[in-house]
Chains A and B, each alone.
Chain A
Amino acid sequence: MVLEVPDRRMSPEARRRAKWWFVNAVVVVYALLPVLWIVSLSFKTKETITDGRLLPREWTLENYRAIFGTSDFVRALVNSVGIALISTTIAVVLGTMAAYAIARLDFPGKRALVGVSLLIAMFPQVSLVSPLFEMERGLGLFDTWPGLILPYITFALPLAIYTLSAFFREIPWELEKAAKMDGATPAQAFLKVIAPLAAPGVFTTAILVFIFCWNDFLFALSLTSTERSRTVPAAMSFFSGSSQFEDPTGTTCAAAVVISVPIIVFVLFFQRRIVAGLTSGAVKG
């Protein structure tokens, strides 16, 4: 509004300020509109869900009650949390070890490892779906937690290794040398000196890896067949109303909100770290 009718009395400083607020408002609307829409749908009643209004006329928790009342969703939520947490833990532990070696140690084969992880970061996931589908059926891993955890770790590792080695490069060398001079072995220097310093970077990486696992849809859809290991994104695509005459829009949106809330909270709390992690690694899973 301020922009449309520039006030003559406004100083250039104030006008500049107003211009920036306008730009900011555009960005905020851009980023939040789809989120607002799905939240709004999830609170609409069955009767008003098709009214096309941006905000609900009547608010209801019915959709949330409905999804938490079914084993479909609750089970999928347990799967999602469990699989993402286990994958994140393993990927971060393995990634930390490899990233430490890459950032600090000199050994042949280092560049090959970096090259391989870069290749995997760019790998089309769908190319793995056919062989993994067949192999996992043979190994009895199809439709199990490990069946999803394995590909998640694999695609999370490049992200973890890149982000972590960037963080590790910032850690002062001298401390490690000092520890070694005091008689610590390289392994002790790693555990006692570098690991505590590296903790913030490791934590940031864990968030990025968790978001990656939480987000996956293709593997979750292809490598599962029952609620035993189906995660929420996959389960959502199978939602149908409790009867065939019932539209699943409200419940789908409620499920969508439930799995988005933890990530948004994470992102808001740790935004500085996440930005640092994303830009230093420059790799998206």
Chain B
Amino acid sequence: MSATAPPAMANEATKRPGRRALSEGKRAERRLGWLLCAPAAIVMVAVTGWPILYSVWLSLQRYDLRFPNQREFVGLANYATVLTNSYWWQAFGVTSLITVLSVVIELVLGMALALVMHWAFVGRGLVRTVTLVPYGIVTVVAAFSWRYAWSQDVGYLARLFSPEGAPLTERASALAIIVLAEVWKTTPFMALLLMAGLALVPSELLRAAAMDGASAWQRFTKVIVPVMRPAILVALLFRTLDAFRIFDNVFVLTAGSQGTSSVSMLTFNNLIRGLNLGIGATMSVLIFLAVAAIAFVFVKVFGTAAPGSEKEGRR
């Protein structure tokens, strides 16, 4: 539509100089907008869009770097291989379990932490500062700390809680430690997102509820949570998608042994250790679809509004 406008404008230019200036300003604005966004858009699309398509193409081939001569188009055979493989489903189950457990625990702890940071009577600055430490620590560093805390010969926690066994070599305890490491690292992020939502709860509303005789718990469930619903959903969405791609903690803590592999870990092993590009790409596509499905559920079923999306629409 903008392409047809300029000639007409140019004809009228002599009669209505005011309008012409305006539309030229408008066109300059558009051009500048595109110009400013182009580099970011090009990089993002080139480094994600194109590889994802390429990934789909790779997933339709038998392509093992150890036997490059056997490369051929095999249709959906890789998908059949992966989807009938018990390791894949085990990793999928483990990933889902870790995701659900850690996100639920984080929501509870994060909410508690947000309430502390928001209403702390003394030492609020201190709490806010130390809360940022887990966020800033490199995930791998934290994972090593947990690994050494729970390894049999070195660790203080292993000595305390299981003096006999080696918690990282048993499936249930290893999974629990992975969840612990994930929760420790990301609860502060959850808490900060929730704190932003908490700031939106009008204090008059809380005071009114208190005056009407609502207990602290009632005020929390009947006033604070409903007002914070959008913030909670956004925090849950981000953390669920983030937890589903868990890799660092699993890699350092167990390297996926004892059936603790996550889907990311399994993909990495097939790709970098096994050098099987076809299978690796197939898993990549499947993980992408799983994440897209999670996002779809959040947006459509829970009505999560992506942050910024409404604001963008308005202007």
For residue A271, CB closer than 8 A to chain B, the reply is yes
Query: Is there an interface contact between B51 and A217, defined as CB atoms closer than 8 Å?
Result: no
Range of interface residues on B (Cβ < 8 Å): 35 or more
Query: Which of A1-9, A62-70, A103-111, A197-205 lies on the face that meets chain B?
Result: A103-111
- The 8 A CB mask of A1-37 against B (1 = contact, 0 = none) is 0000000000000001100110110011011101101
17 contacts between A and B (CB under 8 A): A20-B120, A41-B154, A50-B154, A110-B312, A113-B41, A120-B48, A126-B264, A126-B268, A127-B291, A218-B247, A253-B145, A260-B137, A264-B133, A264-B136, A268-B132, A282-B193, A282-B234
For residue A58, CB closer than 8 A to chain B, the reply is no
Query: Is there an interface contact between B244 and A124, defined as CB atoms closer than 8 Å?
Result: yes
A-binding residues in B (CB < 8 A): 2, 26, 28-30, 32-34, 36-37, 39-41, 43-45, 47-48, 51-52, 54-55, 58, 113, 116, 120-123, 126-142, 144-146, 148-149, 153-156, 158-159, 184, 188-189, 192-193, 195-196, 234, 237-238, 241-242, 244-245, 247-248, 251-252, 263-264, 267-268, 271-272, 277, 280-281, 283-285, 287-288, 290-291, 295, 306-309, 311-313, 315
Q: Which residues of B contact A83 (CB under 8 A)?
A: none
For residue A206, CB closer than 8 A to chain B, the reply is no
Most chain B CB atoms below 10 A, which of A20, A111, A280: A20
Query: Is there an interface contact between A126 and B247, defined as CB atoms closer than 8 Å?
Result: yes
Known: A111-B309, A275-B192. 13 other contacts (CB 8 A): A23-B116, A28-B126, A34-B184, A35-B133, A52-B156, A102-B37, A110-B312, A120-B48, A124-B241, A215-B138, A260-B136, A264-B136, A283-B307
Query: Is there an interface contact between A166 and B40, defined as CB atoms closer than 8 Å?
Result: no
Taking the closest CB of chain A, its distance from the CB of B305, in whole angstroms, is 11
For residue A179, CB closer than 8 A to chain B, the reply is no
Q: Which residues of B contact A53 (CB under 8 A)?
A: 156
Taking the closest CB of chain A, its distance from the CB of B112, in whole angstroms, is 9
- The 8 A CB mask of A49-77 against B (1 = contact, 0 = none) is 11011100000000000000000000000
Query: Is there an interface contact between A106 and B148, defined as CB atoms closer than 8 Å?
Result: no
Q: Is the interface of B mostly helix, strand, loop or mixed?
A: helix
Query: Is there an interface contact between A110 and B33, defined as CB atoms closer than 8 Å?
Result: yes
Query: Count of A residues near B, CB < 8 Å?
Result: 102
Q: Nearest chain-A residue to B140 (Cβ)?
A: A233
Q: Which residues of B contact A129 (CB under 8 A)?
A: 267-268, 271-272, 280, 284
